[in-house]
Structure 1
Amino acid sequence: MADARAAPPFFSQDAQGVFVGNDSARGPWSPAHCHAGPVTGLVARAAEQEVGPDKMLTRLTLDILRPLPLAGLEVSAETTRHTRTLATTTVWVRDLDGTLCVRASTMHLVRKDLGEVPTAPVTPLRRDEAVPGQFFPDRGPHQKPFFADFIEVAYPPGFSVGVGPKTMWMRTPQLLEGEAQSPVQSICALADCGNGISWNARPSEMGFMNTDLTLHVHREPQSDWLAAESISHWHGTGVGMSQSVLHDTKGPIATALQTLVLHPPS
């Protein structure tokens, strides 16, 4: 199993501010394009820098309009509303030709100190009982190093990789070379993995790429190991959806939804 702490970060940034993807950011479907999870981290980073630390990023929605080239991405953000209670942003990700690849929006809420408040009782997942495993059952259409080769994965005891709903723990590389990632940025790669966790057929038998991602965060994570409880619903119309509840070692932190486009291999 890979040691994510020793793996190359997902991205490096050049002198012009362009984000260049490393092997760890490569997606499973094309050797020339990024996994959308690391790019989601770049979107969260841009939004958090735009709004500032006094407000927490609580909702992020991406429309993934085009493939995301490893060769280089430009990310820009604009505040669309900023009050004492909340802020919203729009974030754009473009390739080096200026073509829009991702359009995103975010919501940020002011941080408060309310002390202990009542909440739903939940038994945390047990990371200490999880056992190492692999992510994908096969490599898909290319053989180059990619995202799954650089992450650490663990499953509940007694679990064997197969089709259907799953719970999976993950620890990922850093987002950007030379920079510590924020707690919300650390969630993003896992948030975009629900379809890859809860696949209903092997990637060699059915493609299941997502065209969007919505992440709702109600608590920032406090551990580097994060887990997803994921399920995917596929339909003969070629449309599907993945739903995930995300956890750190203390309990639930977020939910993630992806709309999927299904396509048999050519």
Structure 2
Amino acid sequence: MSEQPVHFEPTADGAFLPTRFAQSHWGEDHLNGPAIVGLAAVVLEQEYGREEFLPSRLTVDLFKAARGVPTTVKTNLVRDGRRVRNSECELVQDGVTVAHATLVQYRRAEAPRGTEWTPPGEFAVPTEVDPSRAIHVSSDGQGWTNEIADHQNAARKRTWGRSIQVVAGTDNSAFVRAAVIAEGTSLVTNLGTAGVGYINGDLTVALVRLPVDDWIGVQAETHWAADGISVGTSTLYDRAGAFGSGMVTAVSNAAVQVDFGNDPFPSRTH
């Protein structure tokens, strides 16, 4: 198994074997969200992506905890329209579907006349970036650091990061990079004073364009919680400005809450 920073190794029979970099903070044999989202994005784009279409919305439903076992993929082209393409895939482990993803692609076209409202969003890119670190974290009043534990507070949060390779031998496309980093919506919205106690059951990432390079920012926009259920939204940024949104719904997982100040798996991706 690869010791390079990659989430999955392809196998001779067409499956994908998770590496240690795909392991999450939730347990010894539990894959992280970016790995699962990334694999779905890679497969759907490779199978059904078209140059003249923009991958505008990816929704990944995380049905059950994915484990460190060979993972197979089932794909299906739902609709092949002139302006809209819809496709889907299932990630399967030991005969059980652990995640389901849908991809909506829109044909690129000339913009309509007029000017629409956009929010006055701002994102301050870190003035110094450590290229050896995959993630930089900031919270209001705290500034940028490389440690998630520094931001276990009740302030608004943001990240600036880049994704590791999802599948060995396959470079991450701009779409895959955006999907993987957008999974950080869960972190910037659900990280509180005691760590992360909500585990997200899905991710929706919506794009109006692709990111300009490897580095992508995720900034919390809303977070609502009641009865052990939370909803969080984010805006995605690159060096050229905002280019999309993320949304996650999540359920309380308080029994194994992740406290980054006392993290048993400090080298893992959230």
* TM-score when normalising by structure 2: 0.79
- Structure 1 gaps, min length 5: 1-5, 133-148
Which of 192, 211, 231 lines up with 1:200 in the alignment?
192
| Bigger Cα displacement from structure 2, 162-171 vs 248-257 | 162-171
State yes or no: 1:234 paired with 2:232: no
CA displacement at 1:234 relative to structure 2: 2.5
Which of 213, 232, 248 lines up with 1:223 in the alignment?
213
User: CA deviation digits over 1:26-75, x for unaligned, max 9?
Assistant: 11102212112121111112222232323221111121111111222112
Residue correspondence of structure 1 range 1-266 to structure 2 within 5 A: 8-53=5-50, 54-95=52-93, 97-112=94-109, 120=118, 125-129=123-127, 151-155=134-138, 158-159=142-143, 161-164=151-154, 165-198=156-189, 199-203=191-195, 207-230=197-220, 231-235=222-226, 237-265=227-255
Q: Which amino acid aligns with 2:250?
A: L
The SS at the match of 1:222 is coil
Distance 2:42 2:252 in 1: 30
User: CA deviation digits over 1:2-49, x for unaligned, max 9?
Assistant: xxxx95112111111111112221111022121121211111122222
Distance 2:153 2:66 in 1: 27
- Structure 2 gaps, min length 5: 144-149, 257-270
Distance 1:107 1:201 in 2: 36
Q: Which amino acid aligns with 2:173?
A: S
Runs of 4+ in 1 over 4 A off after TM superposition: 116-124
Q: Which amino acid aligns with 1:65?
A: F
Q: Which amino acid aligns with 1:184?
A: F
Distance 1:50 1:57 in 2: 12
CA displacement at 1:225 relative to structure 2: 0.9
> In percent, how many aligned pairs have the same letter?
21
User: CA deviation digits over 1:138-172, x for unaligned, max 9?
Assistant: xxxxxxxxxxx972325489525232320210122
Q: Which amino acid aligns with 1:59?
A: R
Note if contact 1:150-1:173 (Cα within 8 Å) is conserved in structure 2.
no
Aligned pair count reads: 241
Distance 2:7 2:133 in 1: 9
CA displacement at 1:77 relative to structure 2: 1.3
The SS at the match of 2:151 is coil
Distance 1:46 1:7 in 2: 21
CA displacement at 1:80 relative to structure 2: 0.5
Q: Which amino acid aligns with 1:52?
A: G
C-alpha root-mean-square deviation of aligned residues, in Å?
Answer: 2.7
